[in-house]
Structure 1
Amino acid sequence: MDAFTLTVAAALAALTMAASMGLLYLASARQTCLVDWSLAAVFLAVSNMMGAIALHTQTSPIIVIACVNALHIGGHFGMLAGIRRHLHLAPGWRWGAVLVAAVLAAHMLPVLHDAALARRIALMPVIGAINLASAWLLWRQRDFDARASYLPLIVLQVLSALQQIGRVAVVIAYDGDPPGFLGDHFYRTSGALAMLVYLSLATMCSALIVTHQQTLALRRASLTDVLTGWLNRRALHDIATRDFRRCRRTGSAMFFITFDIDHFKAINDRYGHGVGDAAICHVTALSARVLRGYDALFRIGGEEFAMLVVGENLGAVCGIAERLREVVAGAPLAADGATVAMTVSVGVAALDQQDHKWEDILRRADEALYHAKQHGRNRVSVHGRDLADRGHGMWLQAVGA
């Protein structure tokens, strides 16, 4: 294919990408990064259309060249802006506008006005830097579940940067268009071919990121309690089963802390279910501050909650449970003009060498919680210390040593 045909094909690929991103935006949960990527594709489409017209007419006034290059860089910046927005960063379109304006102005400089090679040497590293910045932002993310969907776009951006550098190196080596299989228009033909491939793959990579994020969001929603944002019983089963097997294999300690709100039915009856829901959210928010750094937080009943702790000793776990109790007792809920004092009862239980499943630990933690309620509430009870551990107290003491 000649440069003109490839440039037209790249323009059509860009329009396809713009339409695809727009339709995904309408069909998805309004992920704004899709608007950025759609706008980036529009820039690249217009850039390629103008380039195709210039090739067809065999005339390329400097203002057309300036617009083609500025829109080309604006399109690559749009990809970066979409990635930044996807990662919950400011997209930086103002900086993109400044960059486009600077590229337009630079073409008026004598050193670039009449020297195509100088323009190529000046502009290609800018595009390469934008591509590498996009790849770096995605690579440095610590969400390993999401990183799998980022990898194709990371590879694409790195390869795009490398081909920009490679093309500049070739034209510098030959002081213009080199001879070879691409004929006398190496730079234009190779650029159009690279852009066609880039746009075709960028469409798929961007769609993959969005659809994978939606899949993760649905999975998290299925494992999360709607009211509190804590994990639900389904998640408890998956996480506790995994940790129980690992702890039995390695000999590590494993604890459950369970707690619930004292006199919760009385709060519901007196103030209504709205205040009851607010009380649950209030307790979980306070608890999350104490339990910061621990991800295994579960709502396992109406007003009953559990926390899974692995690798700590009994003293540390009891300290966590006591701080949780103190924080809730010291921060009454203000709702609907009323101040509602609240307390929690807490139960603690450890992995026993005779346990066959994680439910055995949770059952003992619930027994300890019941013991706390039967002995005055607003207190912490430990199975094996405050109530009989059915003959297994020595193992609890060994784990907590």
Structure 2
Amino acid sequence: MPLSYSARLRRDLRDWQERGLIQPEQAERIAAHALAPRGMRHLQTALALCILLLVAPSVIAFVAANWSAMPPSGRLIVLFLANAAAVSATYLAAQRRARDPAGTSHRLVDGLATLSLAIATATLALVGQTFHVAADPRGFAGTVAVLGLATALVARSSGAAVIACIALVASDAGPNALDLGLVRGEAASGSEPWFWMVGPALFLASLSGWLRARETTLLLLLVVLSNHLGSTPAGSMFLLPPDRILSVAALALALGHVLARLSREKPWATRLHGGAQALARAAVGLILLGIVMVSARILGFGGAQPTPAVALAFAAIAIAALILVRLRASASALSATSDLLVLAAAALALLVWLIASLSREPATVWTVWGGIVPALILVVAGHIEDRRELYGWGLALTAGVTLGMLVASRNLIAFSGNLLLCALLLTLALFACRWAARRIDRRAA
């Protein structure tokens, strides 16, 4: 499956010509327009971003080298000038974008807004250090999240939104972030107000199309939302429980497809349609994370066994599948074949995790059916509808789990036998598909 856009476009153009959908002249014009060089504007924007990435660390390093020798008043002046320069540059770039909305200046605005947020974050930390303010990591992360929200909404900066989401994750982790506290099964005490203050606003802004590059932002928000669900005391779970992750992911996937079917007659509806598609893609990414967590739990990491909440996860997956099937029944609906396979992979991983907790077989054996097989289903789903991100992540997950099991497994013979059994079942499925295709072709003839 071609992964590059140009290779996929050329393949699709050949396929459309063979089906008689377009003429060769039309295919040449489409390829010439889509693959034509875009001139120097993109290069100029890229070079400007590179300059920012080089200048900003150099200035920070220079100030840090002389920080201890500077008096408090000098430190405040330096911080004030740095913030003023970043905000002024962001304002000028935003004015340029307003004059030319179709240009590439939005990337420069995004980069400058993100830089201004980073400088403001460093300013807070350095001011606290200068005046010996008591350390409060969770409060600091929450403050950064609020600043990131304000910067993202005013400058329409996706980079600032991502920083705000990361700050929310750090607020959940608290002072134990370095020992993987950010993947706890429950939000840390005191972090809920920050999430409910920032999370819904970022979610609505991303879903409505106000912010660009929404998939990353929505995925991080879904992860934080998963971290805030449930009632298990903080710290008793080392990893986010798969049932919680897969429940949120299934419902988000269904919501994305429902919103994507709304009429696009008005500009806001068009933006909402794009945000809904981004939400569906983020939900698929969260399902991928859930399958990874299933593999980790089966191997014994985290130590938590399935709870009655698994039933709720199965119900959420079933509801999402029912919604997608109903949407697919309409001729005007988006094709949901790949997403149905994604939900099937999630249900299989969840079922294997439930069975593995009741079995006396080695846990390494169950990772074949709870990690590798669901990952292969994601590969098939990505290949069917040319979803290259899903295809690539499915391959990466398959390779990662397989290599990890080859290193960690204590029963390689059983592991090898289960792989061969899986391959045999897939071979039978391949023969069944070919037989069904031949029957359909004969009936059509």
TM exceeding 0.5: no
The structure with the largest strand share of the pair is: 1
- Would you tell me which structure has more helix in proportion to its own residues? 2
